[in-house]
Chains A and B, each alone.
Chain A
Amino acid sequence: MDAAADSRSKEMRLRWKCRRGLLELDLVLETYLQRTRYDGELVELLDLPDNEIWDFVSGRRDDYEQRFAGIVARLRAT
């Protein structure tokens, strides 16, 4: 696969991974993806359960792993 096709595929995969069970996350992630095509930290964050991600993004909880500090801050600012 050439580099352009590879990056398109990664972007599309992330786009679909942003389809969630909670509307709150759909909305935040939709807005975030309008500005950012790809974000490796987000890919990893999205493996967490929906409620946990929403707790972090909405500021209800701060006990996320350090590796998520950057992406949580970016999503909170979205």
Chain B
Amino acid sequence: MSLALPVRKYDAIVVGAGGSGMRASLELARAGLKTAVLTKVFPTRSHTVAAQGGIAAPLANSTEDNWHWHMYDTVKGSDYLGDQDAIEYMCRRANEVVVELEHMGMPFDRLENGKIYQRPFGGHTQDYGSAKMAMRACAAADRTGHAMLHTLYQQNLRANTQFLVEWMALDLIRDPQDGAVVGVTALEMETGEVSILQAKAVLFATGGAGRIYAASTNAFINTGDGLGIAARAGVPLQDMEFWQFHPTGVYGAGVLITEGVRGEGGYLINKDGERFMERYAPNAKDLASRDVVSRAMTTEIKEGRGCGPEADHVLLKLDHLGPEVINQRLPGIREIAIKFANADPVREPVPVVPTVHYQMGGIPTNYLGRVVVHEGSNHESIVPGFYAAGECACVSVHGANRLGTNSLLDLLVFGKASGEQVVKDLQTSPKPHRNLPKDAGEQTRARLARLEAAGSGERVADVFAELRRTMQAHCGVFRFPDDLAKGVERMKAVAERAARVYIQDKARTFNTARVEALELDNLVETAMSTIVSAEARKESRGAQARADFPERDDKNWMKHTLWYKEGNRLAYKPVQLKPFTVEAFEPKARTY
């Protein structure tokens, strides 16, 4: 490929058409900017569709509530790693973005009086952590994400947003003068053609990357494309050691078995048939918090009491509940167990493992969605033209641990805020497009040319499987020093293998093998940043639980990790402890 790549010009490009991408693009299109949204799959098939629980907002429709209580819960939930300015900003805009969505036609569940119905959710309280739960989650049955995507898609059609469907972004183009982002290279799957999409603003909304773990609830599309692209372009990734796990994903598949199963009386057993949670949490037993249950499961497996030929999972027993309870109170569970575990829970226990669910880290941004990097003594140096929102971004509102229903809120608030910021940046000081650097697209051409030329090497599927096994075994929900150190070395070997992958199918059009090879590069950056950051953080905080450092260490570790691809190195920056208008919430032990 020696010819120059074709160039298409836009005011703004959004990469990703899930909740945050479509909320952002709506602002851009409404402002009349020439906007393109790139997406690997049709917008309403983005992974946001899987979100069930709801959107947190202190509307106070059923219980007394306010943004300051919500802020307290979010700061505490983050285990004091969340930035308190961004958290205040999010909680103060929550009601606005939910009401807006309602006015767009989102079919929220309703109260008798017509107001949005709100339900309680773990970690959301009244009066700064009192025993009284806040009813704060706004939902559309158990299909909140689905309803939100459809609502936002319709609004975008109305605003004339241009969607480039089945396009994959490949690399960032930066101006060598000041590092400003001036576009991306992208692959149109239909034709196999690679183009340069030149823009004054590039906004990443590529979602999470949970596929780096063998046990993951994430859909196959969640390959961390935005993270990989940013890392290859020299942008650091922040707080990547923090991944939220769910205790009961179906072994070998990842599909979630809801907590409701244990709520109804289901319990976990090890290979000896022992109800082991009685030893770890004598009172709450199987209903202890997610992290406690997940760590106990990992300990059982690590100490040789796991089940199956590989002794690598435990069992969730519910046959004693009887078919009536299972069929009536736990709809869908029996189908999931039969389909994905080949086990009918009416008769036999279901194999489960702690399963990765959500990524707290990502591309560092401020509360306006602008990507910020660390330069000298300035921790918040803005990368001109570059924005990020949603799960791929680290604002950071979730810190070391996210509260349920705060993720959809994050998508809405920071999708909107980043879109507003792009509009402001482009309209307050209108400038022509910057010239593309001479070598624009060279990085992409080199990657594709290598794939094109390679006649032998590693198979993509083999390297991907090894990557996922490595992360699961060495950097799971409970982390051990030897495992982490060996895991870093094993990941380096995976990265070397990934650089030698080849594909047999060299066809230009609709070449899914090529797409998967390109995705693998992004998975490698995500996994490497995760395990290197986790190995270095010598404390337990939120989702990072280390056997050798079981306590939170605010003196040494109340700081954000920044991982750089170049040199595989780390830097740190302080947590923003100062909110905008209220007193800071001082760190306390996080107990519930």
Are A and B physically bound partners? yes
- Chain A interface residues toward B at CB < 8 A: 5, 8-9, 12-13, 15-16, 19-24, 26-28, 30, 49-51, 58-60
20 contacts between A and B (CB under 8 A): A5-B507, A8-B507, A9-B509, A12-B507, A13-B510, A16-B41, A16-B512, A19-B40, A19-B221, A20-B221, A21-B50, A21-B221, A23-B218, A24-B340, A28-B339, A49-B44, A49-B146, A50-B45, A50-B49, A60-B331
Number of B residues contacting the other chain (C-beta, 8 Å)? Answer: 36
Contacts of A26 in B (CB 8 A): 219-220
Question: Quick one: which of B41, B509, B510, B511 contacts A21, CB cutoff 8 A?
Answer: B41
Known contacts A49-B44, A49-B146; decide if A20 and B219 are in contact (CB<8 Å). Answer: yes
Nearest-CB distance from B341 to chain A (Å)? 11
Q: Are B512 and A12 in contact (CB under 8 A)?
A: yes
Q: Are A23 and B512 in contact (CB under 8 A)?
A: no
Given contacts A23-B50, A23-B220, A51-B146, 15 further A-B contacts (CB under 8 A): A8-B507, A9-B510, A13-B510, A16-B512, A16-B515, A19-B45, A21-B41, A21-B44, A21-B48, A23-B253, A24-B339, A27-B253, A50-B45, A51-B49, A58-B336
Q: Are A22 and B50 in contact (CB under 8 A)?
A: yes
Contacts of B331 in A (CB 8 A): 60
Contacts of A5 in B (CB 8 A): 507
Known contacts A9-B509, A49-B146, A50-B49; decide if A19 and B335 are in contact (CB<8 Å). Answer: no
In the complex, the chain B residue whose C-beta lies closest to that of A5 is B507
Q: What is the CA–CA distance of A5 and B509 in the complex, to the nearest angstrom?
A: 10
Contacts of B332 in A (CB 8 A): 58, 60
Known contacts A12-B510, A28-B339; decide if A23 and B49 are in contact (CB<8 Å). Answer: no
Q: Are A20 and B507 in contact (CB under 8 A)?
A: no
Nearest-CB distance from A17 to chain B (Å)? 8
Contacts of A24 in B (CB 8 A): 255, 336, 339-340
Nearest-CB distance from B139 to chain A (Å)? 14
Contacts of B219 in A (CB 8 A): 19-23, 26
Q: What is the CA–CA distance of A11 and B250 in the complex, to the nearest angstrom?
A: 30
Q: Are B339 and A58 in contact (CB under 8 A)?
A: yes
Contacts of B49 in A (CB 8 A): 21-22, 49-51
Interface of A is mostly: helix
Number of A-B contacts (CB under 8 A): 81
> Is B143 an interface residue, CB under 8 A from the partner?
yes
Q: What is the CA–CA distance of A58 and B509 in the complex, to the nearest angstrom?
A: 33
Contacts of B236 in A (CB 8 A): none
List residues of B (295-342) whose CB comes within 8 Å of A's CBs. Answer: 331-332, 335-336, 339-340
Nearest-CB distance from A72 to chain B (Å)? 14
Q: What is the CA–CA distance of A70 and B562 in the complex, to the nearest angstrom?
A: 52
Q: What is the CA–CA distance of A12 and B166 in the complex, to the nearest angstrom?
A: 12
Contacts of A15 in B (CB 8 A): 512
> Is B46 an interface residue, CB under 8 A from the partner?
yes
Q: What is the CA–CA distance of A77 and B354 in the complex, to the nearest angstrom?
A: 28
Q: What is the CA–CA distance of A20 and B48 in the complex, to the nearest angstrom?
A: 11
Q: What is the CA–CA distance of A13 and B340 in the complex, to the nearest angstrom?
A: 26
Nearest-CB distance from B357 to chain A (Å)? 11
Question: Quick one: which of A8, A9, A20, A59 contacts B45, CB cutoff 8 A?
Answer: A20
Q: What is the CA–CA distance of A22 and B515 in the complex, to the nearest angstrom?
A: 20
Q: Are A20 and B41 in contact (CB under 8 A)?
A: yes
Nearest-CB distance from B239 to chain A (Å)? 24
Contacts of A50 in B (CB 8 A): 44-45, 49, 146
List residues of B (502-536) whose CB comes within 8 Å of A's CBs. Answer: 507, 509-512, 515
In the complex, the chain B residue whose C-beta lies closest to that of A12 is B510
Contacts of A21 in B (CB 8 A): 41, 44-50, 149, 219, 221
Q: What is the CA–CA distance of A24 and B220 in the complex, to the nearest angstrom?
A: 10
Nearest-CB distance from A61 to chain B (Å)? 11
> Is B365 an interface residue, CB under 8 A from the partner?
no
Q: Which residue of A8, A15, A21 has the most chain B CB atoms within 10 A of its CB atom? A: A21
Contacts of B346 in A (CB 8 A): none
List residues of B (463-510) whose CB comes within 8 Å of A's CBs. Answer: 507, 509-510
Nearest-CB distance from B148 to chain A (Å)? 12
Nearest-CB distance from B576 to chain A (Å)? 33
Contacts of B40 in A (CB 8 A): 19
Question: Quick one: which of A9, A20, A59 contacts B335, CB cutoff 8 A?
Answer: A59
Contacts of A28 in B (CB 8 A): 339
In the complex, the chain B residue whose C-beta lies closest to that of A57 is B339
Contacts of A60 in B (CB 8 A): 331-332, 335
> Is B254 an interface residue, CB under 8 A from the partner?
yes
In the complex, the chain A residue whose C-beta lies closest to that of B253 is A27
> Is B161 an interface residue, CB under 8 A from the partner?
no
Nearest-CB distance from A45 to chain B (Å)? 13
Contacts of A16 in B (CB 8 A): 41, 166, 189, 510, 512, 515
Contacts of B444 in A (CB 8 A): none
Q: What is the CA–CA distance of A49 and B377 in the complex, to the nearest angstrom?
A: 49
> Is B217 an interface residue, CB under 8 A from the partner?
yes
Contacts of B220 in A (CB 8 A): 19-20, 23, 26, 30
In the complex, the chain A residue whose C-beta lies closest to that of B150 is A49
Q: Are A23 and B255 in contact (CB under 8 A)?
A: yes
Q: What is the CA–CA distance of A53 and B579 in the complex, to the nearest angstrom?
A: 45
Q: What is the CA–CA distance of A59 and B150 in the complex, to the nearest angstrom?
A: 24
Q: What is the CA–CA distance of A26 and B221 in the complex, to the nearest angstrom?
A: 9
Contact with A along B135-161 (1 / 0, CB 8 A): 000000001001001100000000000
